[in-house]
């Protein structure tokens, strides 16, 4: 049963949970979240002893899970939040800490690690020891979002420094660090990567989107300080990234498929985090960059949120158009596969960002793509543009505000009375689980609270971007060459075939399934022309003496790229 909103603390399963209004939660939690971030930054953070200067620990938890490492992704997102506070004047005391972060990351860039050296791929290494030495254990590497996120954080600071008259420091100290990261992005974005959850090795929407953003703002910075030699290559790569970004859209499911591999539904907080981390208030509701109020981002948000309604016990009994607790992705089982604070806050933040833009532009647009999202709040609404003077605009924006607040209140309900934010809270009873004091959870509170207050930040150049004509063919009608490799041990006379959901894969027929070549046995292989930008399901089958054996469930699934070719590596299941 849902707890009513009383301005009091309520007792839930051994932990004091917080309930009340959004504003009362924000006023209590905001200083706690800020202190929580600062406690996890070395050398003097209260919970980060042993961390070098400017090093962000992911969490002080050292067992189950051991998060006493520094991740480039977490650190960069956390410092982006701090740099935003500094550059907007919300906290002018942070400059020394930001400079320490820059020095620390400059050191980490040069540390040789299992992904390589600074010039041979080492920038894609996901995490380091907190004394700035390499982590050499097995891990999902590389993770190519890190350099892009770090560049974005530093570019935000660099732009402020330039406006403040300190171009020399930018040119001599900050730009060389940014340039290494951006060259890595420009040179490697087309290679596969582990996703932000460190599990799926393919291409990933979040990674592609933050890479695109980093190059666009990198171009502007490079021009501003006369480092123009990189510009033309960055422009070419950014255009290609923007093309590729479109290919994650799944038109039949009305959502963004998070990864090109992984064999999951593809519904994932990855996509919501993308919307908030590439929000550019100057870009309105532009759809090519999936702005928070774009029809595709809103349609996606609904599908993502709905995927958690029935799987978490704590969400049961909540109306189908009200906020629920959300996690990384519905199939998640890591540390119990529970709701995550940072995922649930991200939903609220996307909605607050959308409200900022609708109010700023004085209208709201409903399209066939976003219709299902809006009909949750007003079943009779139809596609159209609604001016801020219309009752439809007021009804929808106030419902969206209530919906957004609801996600904050979900987290509030499961925030213990000391305000500590772990990584997850139990799907069955809401008690905090997994890593305690997750730095990224605290940072996600800071950014959603800022969005709730209507705070906006400088543009990164998303306004007016158009898809280059070179990619329009691939996104609509073209085909791409997809190579399927599957590792399968067979007996003599037994063969491996593929069949799947589209005509080119014989529409699940076993009698006309396509035979793979065993030239590289035990790898069986075939290259098939498949429609571009399309979600395709398939399975391998083995046929021996006319007997068909299917792979176990679920079906395998890929989303083909907009253009070019694609290689899928599988193991027989
Ligand atoms: C550790 C990663 O940090 C986490 O994201 C992942 O889910 C687990 N390993 C399981 O692969
Ligand atoms: C696991 C998360 O999946 C990953 O995104 C994060 O970087 C690490 N934990 C550290 O917080």
* Per-residue pLDDT tens digits for 163-174: 999 999 999 999
pLDDT score at 9: 37
Ligand 1, pocket-test mutation among 73, 197, 259, 333, most atoms within 8 A of CB: 197
What is the pLDDT confidence band of residue 560, given thresholds at 50, 70 and 90?
confident
Q: Is 7 left (phi over 0), alpha (psi -120 to 50) or beta?
A: beta
- CA 60/CA 30 separation, integer angstroms: 20
Q: Which ligand 2 atom is at minimum distance from the Cα of 126?
A: 7
- 197 Cβ below 6 A of ligand 1: yes
Among 203-212, 388-397, 429-438, 510-519, the least confident range? 510-519
Whether 209 has a pLDDT exceeding 70, the answer reads yes
Above pLDDT 90, what percent of the chain? Answer: 88
| Residue scoring higher pLDDT (439 or 477) | 439
Q: Is the pLDDT reported for residue 2 higher than 50?
A: no
What residue spans define the domains of the chain?
1-38+248-456, 48-247, 479-571
**Which of 573, 279, 307 shows the shortest CA–CA distance to 447?**
279
Ligand 2 neighbourhood includes 197 CB (under 6 angstroms): yes
Q: Token pair of 325, please?
A: 């607790």
- Characterise 430 by phi-psi region: left (phi > 0), alpha (psi -120 to 50), beta (else): left
Backbone angles phi, psi at 10, to 5 degrees: -120, 155
Residue nearest to atom 5 of ligand 2 (CA): 197
Give me the helix-helix angle, 231-246 and 469-476, nearest 10°.
20
Asked if 437 is an active-site residue, the reply is no
pLDDT at 532 over 90: no
Question: Once rounded to an integer, what is the mean pLDDT over residues 92-117?
Answer: 98
| In the predicted structure, residue 108 carries a pLDDT above the cut 50 | yes
pLDDT for the residue numbered 473: 41
pLDDT score at 534: 81
Residue 504 CA: distances (Å) to CA of 308, 476, 513: 34, 17, 10
**From 1.50.10.10, 3.20.20.70, 3.40.50.300, 1.10.1660.10, which CATH number describes the 1-38+248-456 domain?**
1.50.10.10
Q: What is the per-residue DSSP string for 335-382?
A: GG--BBHHHHHHHHHHHHHHHHHHHHHTEEEE-TTTHHHHHTT-TT--
Annotated active-site residue 198? The verdict is yes
d(CA 285, CA 2): 34
**Strand pairing partners for 193?**
202
pLDDT tens by residue, 138-165: 999 999 999 999 999 999 999 999 999 9
Q: For residue 71, report the phi and psi dihedrals to the nearest 5 degrees.
A: -95, 135
Ligand 1 site, residue 508, Cβ cutoff 6 A:
no
Q: Same fold for the domain at 1-38+248-456 and the one at 48-247?
A: yes
Average pLDDT, the chain: 94
Residue carrying structure tokens 């065993």 = 518
451, containing H or E segment: helix 439-452
Q: Give the number of other CB atoms < 10 A from CB of residue 66.
A: 11
Q: Which fold has domain 48-247?
A: Glycosyltransferase (1.50.10)
Question: Which of the following is catalytic: 91, 100, 179, 198?
Answer: 198
Q: Is the pLDDT reported for residue 437 higher than 70?
A: yes
Q: How confident is the model at residue 213 (pLDDT cuts 50, 70, 90)?
A: very high
Residue position matching structure tokens 């006369």: 226
Q: From residue 289, give the alpha-carbon distance in Å to each of 210, 214, 240, 277, 279.
A: 10, 13, 13, 11, 9
Tell which residue, 546, 461, 86, 409, has the closest CA to residue 242. 461
What's the mean pLDDT in 347-370?
98
Residue 7 has pLDDT above 60, yes or no: no
Distance 339 CA to ligand 1 centre (A): 15
Name which residue sits closest to atom 10 of ligand 2, judged by CA.
Answer: 58
Q: What is the per-residue pLDDT for 502?
A: 86
Helices (H), 164-230: 167-169, 175-188, 205-224
User: Beta strand 479-487 with 565-571: parallel, antiparallel or unpaired?
Assistant: parallel
Tell the CATH superfamily of the 479-571 domain.
Immunoglobulins (2.60.40.10)
Q: Using one digit for the tens of pLDDT, what is the confidence trace for 33-55?
A: 999 999 999 999 999 999 999 99
CA nearest ligand 1 atom 1, residue: 198
Give me the pLDDT at residue 8, please.
36
């Amino acid at each position: 049963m849902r707890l009513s909103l009383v301005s009091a603390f309520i007792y839930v399963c051994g932990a004091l949970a917080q309930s009340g209004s959004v504003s009362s939660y924000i006023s209590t939690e905001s200083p706690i979240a800020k202190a929580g971030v600062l406690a996890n930054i070395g050398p003097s953070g209260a919970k980060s002893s042993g961390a070098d200067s400017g090093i962000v620990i992911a969490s002080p938890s050292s067992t189950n899970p051991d998060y006493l490492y520094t991740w480039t992704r977490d650190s960069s997102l956390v410092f982006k939040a701090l740099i935003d506070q500094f550059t907007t004047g919300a906290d002018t005391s942070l400059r020394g800490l930001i400079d320490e972060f820059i020095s620390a990351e400059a050191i980490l860039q040069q540390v040789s690690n299992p992904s390589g050296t600074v010039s041979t791929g080492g920038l894609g290494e996901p995490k380091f020891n907190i004394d700035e030495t390499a982590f050499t254990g097995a891990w999902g590497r590389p993770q190519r979002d890190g350099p892009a996120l770090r560049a974005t954080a530093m570019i935000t600071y660099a732009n402020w420094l330039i406006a403040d008259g300190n171009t020399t420091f930018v040119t001599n100290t900050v730009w060389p660090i940014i340039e290494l990261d951006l060259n890595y992005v420009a040179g490697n974005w087309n290679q596969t990567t582990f996703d932000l959850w460190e599990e799926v090795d393919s291409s990933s929407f979040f990674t592609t989107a933050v890479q695109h953003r980093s190059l666009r703002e990198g171009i502007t910075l490079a021009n501003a300080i006369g480092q123009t030699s990189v510009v033309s290559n960055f422009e070419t790569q950014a255009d290609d990234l923007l093309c590729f970004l479109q290919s994650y859209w799944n038109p039949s499911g009305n959502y963004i498929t998070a990864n090109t591999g992984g064999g999951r539904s593809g519904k994932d907080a990855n996509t919501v985090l993308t919307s908030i981390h590439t929000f550019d208030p100057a870009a309105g509701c532009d759809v090519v960059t999936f702005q928070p109020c774009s029809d595709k981002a809103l349609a996606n948000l609904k599908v993502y949120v709905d995927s958690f309604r029935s799987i978490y016990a704590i969400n049961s009994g909540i109306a189908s158009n009200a906020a629920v607790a959300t996690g990384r992705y519905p199939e998640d089982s890591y540390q119990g596969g529970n709701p995550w604070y940072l995922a649930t806050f991200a939903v609220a933040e996307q909605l607050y960002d959308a409200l900022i833009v609708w109010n700023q532009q004085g209208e709201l647009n409903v399209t066939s793509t976003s219709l299902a999202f809006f009909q949750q709040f007003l079943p009779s609404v139809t596609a159209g543009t609604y001016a801020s003077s219309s009752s439809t605009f007021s009804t929808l924006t106030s419902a969206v505000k209530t919906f957004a607040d609801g996600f904050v209140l979900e987290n509030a309900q499961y925030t213990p009375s000391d305000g500590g934010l772990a990584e997850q809270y139990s799907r069955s009873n809401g008690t905090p689980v997994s890593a305690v004091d997750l730095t990224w959870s605290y940072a996600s509170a800071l950014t959603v609270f800022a969005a709730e207050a209507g705070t906006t930040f400088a543009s990164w150049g998303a306004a007016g971007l158009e898809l280059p004509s070179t990619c329009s063919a691939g996104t609509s009608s073209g085909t791409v060459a997809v190579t399927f490799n599957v590792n399968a041990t067979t007996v003599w006379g037994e063969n491996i075939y593929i069949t799947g959901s589209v005509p080119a894969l014989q529409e699940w027929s076993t009698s006309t399934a396509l035979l793979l070549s065993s030239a590289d046995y035990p790898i069986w292989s075939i290259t098939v022309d498949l429609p571009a930008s399309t979600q395709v399901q398939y399975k391998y089958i083995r046929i021996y003496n006319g007997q068909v054996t299917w792979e176990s469930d679920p079906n395998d699934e890929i989303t083909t790229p907009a253009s070019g070719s694609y290689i899928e590596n599988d193991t027989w299941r």
